[in-house]
Structure 1
Amino acid sequence: MADNKNGREAQARNEERRQRERAIAEELERADEPEPPVDSTELASFETELDTLEFPASAATVVDAVGDYEIKSAEGTHTVANLLPDAAVESFDSPAEVRTRVQRPTVAGAMKRIVKAADRYQSASFGASQRDGYERTFRALQAIDADDDDEGIRAIADWIIEHIHENETLPGSRDVRRRASEFCRSNGYSVRNDDWLGI
């Protein structure tokens, strides 16, 4: 495309279209997942608490501002500080992104532990797609059996943290999926080949 006003506008429109397509694809992938355990009205009131912050904001900034805010879920009550890492390496582009992060407290808690462990090593930094892969794996583990006290999420988070401490790097998201798949199969949960964990 030509580097003029029309060309730049066309590039911007194409980028917006690609973002919408990615968002739609993600929503379709999540259609099979169980509903998040936090009520949407609870999250809406939490999001209004975030209006005082300027975005993008680091997780440390969010925790500093609203860390004591309590979010009620089917799993119990959690403070924002329990769900988000007090770390500058994690950042959010909007209040909606923070809201999405805390809507699944078990997954958020596991990710907090991983980010804190990775924050200790310069070489263990997250890319957006890697983080999304980890979260998607945790959501898949949560969907396997809602009555198992999220043992799979804890086991895989422990494995990731151990890997970080031993290697000072994060394992690849494919390795995390493979480990989660092995966990499921060794504990009697069936994983289809066309599932996220069917690796």
Structure 2
Amino acid sequence: MADDKSGRDKQAQDAERRQQEREMDAELERGDEIEPPVDAGALADVEAELEELAFPATGTEVVAAMGDYEFESAERSYTIGELVPETDEETFDSPDAIRVQILRPTVATAMKQIVEASKTLSNTEFSWTQRKAYEMTFQELEAIDADDDDEGIQAIADWIIERIHDKETLPSSRAVRREAAKFCRANGYQVRNDEWLGI
């Protein structure tokens, strides 16, 4: 490969794709550590439906094909349309990418709201690394706030969306972590300095 800008860009894209695949595999291995479990039968039915889609598929294509498809978690029922952003900028490379959304429905719901709100921004890319940092923050809130109906996740998602609308920019992952830590401390949850939210 030539050592020019396009060659370096391709190498960077390939490295990011490999990292995404490694993280997706790790996420699938962990399964549903934090969130309430999704019924195994429902998951099998969804996976059978996903096999019918041609991948890679955009969020718009996934929602159009199976947005009304409903499945049960231990707490409530969800549709695929509630978890997958309806946008052409969001691409899913395989059924496993959708499965990750299903295994963490509260995080996926918050991320869908943010991705769709970010479509209003011009000249702003919601990078994969920033998205992963947001997701990690939501996962930490899920672990801390597991008994409180995901109040923390929705509060931080609302804060991010407010920043998108008011300041017309995506807040940095550090700012999101800081806001999540403030929320935790204000609600009586201890956040240590050596934790993800300990900023």
Could you tell me the TM-score, scaled by structure 1's length? 0.82
Q: Structure 2 CA distance, aligned partners of 1:121 and 1:19?
A: 26
Q: Unpaired segments of 5 or more residues in structure 1?
A: 4-10
Q: Structure 1 CA distance, aligned partners of 2:91 and 2:47?
A: 16
Question: What's the counterpart of residue 170 of structure 1?
Answer: 170
Query: Identity, % of aligned pairs?
Result: 59
Stretch of structure 1 that moved more, 58-67 or 169-178: 169-178
Q: Structure 2 CA distance, aligned partners of 1:140 and 1:112?
A: 18
| Superposition pairs of residues 119-130 of structure 1, within 5 angstroms | 119-130=119-130
Change (3 A) 1:196 1:26: farther
Are 2:59 and 1:59 aligned? yes
Q: Structure 2 CA distance, aligned partners of 1:67 and 1:192?
A: 40
Q: Structure 2 CA distance, aligned partners of 1:137 and 1:33?
A: 15
SS in 1 for 2:51: helix
Please provide the CA RMSD for this pair.
Answer: 3.0
Would the aligned equivalents of 2:24 and 2:100 in 1 still touch at CA under 8 Å?
Answer: no
Stretch of structure 1 that moved more, 114-123 or 133-142: 114-123
Note the alpha carbon deviations across 1:125-146, whole angstroms, 9 max, x for none.
3111111111111111011021
Give the deviation of 1:77 after TM superposition: 0.8
Q: Which runs of 4+ in 1 moved over 6 A?
A: none
Q: Structure 1 CA distance, aligned partners of 2:194 and 2:22?
A: 20
Q: Unpaired segments of 5 or more residues in structure 2?
A: 4-10
Could you tell me the TM-score, scaled by structure 2's length? 0.82
Paired residues, number = 187
SS in 1 for 2:149: coil
Q: State the AA in 1 paired with 2:121.
A: Y
Give the deviation of 1:21 after TM superposition: 10
Note the alpha carbon deviations across 1:9-66, whole angstroms, 9 max, x for none.
xx9xxx7xx7599549956xx6995255323443232122111211111111000001
Question: What's the counterpart of residue 7 of structure 1?
Answer: none
SS in 1 for 2:189: coil
Larger-Rg structure: 1
